[in-house]
Structure 1
Amino acid sequence: MELRGKTALVTGAAGGIGGAIVASLTEAGAKVLAFDRDADALRRLGKTCEPVVVDLANPTDISATMQDVLARHGQVDILVNNAGILSPNKLASTTLEEWHRIMAINLDAALLLTQSVVPGMKAKQWGRIVNIASYAWKSGGLTAGTGYAVSKAALVGLTYSTARELTAEGVTANAVAPAYVVSPMIMEQLSKEDRDRQLAAIPVGRLCEPEEVAHTVRFLVSPLSGFMTGTVIDMNGGLQFG
Structure 2
Amino acid sequence: MELTGKTALVTGAAGGIGSAIAAALVQAGAHVLAVDRDADSAARLAQTLGASCEAMVADLSDAEAVRVLAHTAEAKRGAIDILVNNAGILSPNKLATTTLEEWHRLMAINLDAALLLTQAAMPGMIAKRWGRVINIASYAWKSGGLTAGTAYAVSKAALVGLTYSTARELAPKGVTANAIAPAYVVSPMIMEQLSEEDRNRQLAAIPVGRLCEPEEVAHTVRFLASPLSGFMTGVVIDMNGGLQFG
Coarse TM-score class (shorter-chain normalised): over 0.9
Counterpart of 1:23 in structure 2: which amino acid?
A: A
- Name 1:236's counterpart in structure 2: 240
* Pair 1:21 & 2:21 matched: yes
Partner of 1:35: 35
* 2:112 aligned with 1:103: no
CA contact (8 A) 2:34 2:46 kept: no
In structure 2, the residue corresponding to 1:197 is in which secondary structure? helix
Shift of 1:64: 1.4
CA distance in 2, matches of 1:219, 1:71: 27
In structure 2, how many angstroms separate the alpha carbons of the residues matched to 1:240 and 1:33?
34
* Structure 2 unpaired stretches of 5+: none
User: 1:117, CA displacement in angstroms?
Assistant: 0.3
2:76 matched to which residue of 1? 72
- The amino acid across from 2:199 in the alignment is R
Deviation at 1:233?
A: 0.1
Shift in Å, 1:221: 0.5
**CA RMSD of the aligned region, Å?**
0.7
In the other structure, the counterpart of 2:89 is: 85
* 1:190 correspondence with 2:179: no
**3-state SS, counterpart of residue 142 of structure 1:** coil
Bigger mean CA deviation after superposition, 84-93 or 42-51: 42-51
SS in structure 2 at match of 1:45: helix
Distance 1:217 1:67 in 2: 24
Which residue does 2:44 correspond to in 1? 44
Does the residue aligned with 2:68 lie in a helix, a strand or coil? helix
The 8 Å contact of residues 132 and 224 in structure 2, kept in 1 or not, is answered as yes
TM-score (norm 1): 0.99
Residue 65 (structure 1) shift: 1.9
Query: Could you tell me which residue of structure 2 aligns to residue 223 of structure 1?
Result: 227
Which digits, 9 at most, give the CA deviation of each residue in 1:187-227, with x for residues without a partner?
A: 00000000000000000000000000000000001000000
CA distance in 1, matches of 2:20, 2:14: 9
List alignment gaps of at least 5 residues for structure 1: none
Q: 1:123 aligns with which of 127, 139, 142?
A: 127
Q: State the distance in 1 between where 2:227 and 2:194 align.
A: 37
Q: CA deviation at 1:69?
A: 1.4
Picking from 128, 132, 139, the partner of 2:136 is 132
C-alpha displacement of 1:72: 2.2
Three-state SS of the structure 1 residue aligned to 2:19 is helix
Is 2:84–2:134's contact at 8 Å kept on the other side of the alignment?
Answer: yes
Partner Cα distance (1:143, 1:64) in 2? 35
1:216 and 1:68 mapped to 2: Cα distance? 28
Amino acid in the other structure paired with 1:21: I
> For 1:107, what is the secondary structure of its paired residue?
helix
Q: TM-score by structure 2 length?
A: 0.97
State the alpha-carbon separation in 1 of the partners of residues 88 and 72 from structure 2. 23
| Number of positions where the alignment pairs a residue of Structure 1 with one of Structure 2 | 241
Which is helix-richer, 1 or 2? 2
The residue matched to 1:240 in structure 2 has which SS? Answer: helix
Cα deviation per residue 1:169-202 (whole Å; 9 max; x = unaligned)?
0000000000000000000000000000000000
Shift of 1:40: 1.0
Among candidates 148, 158, 161, match of residue 162 of structure 2: 158
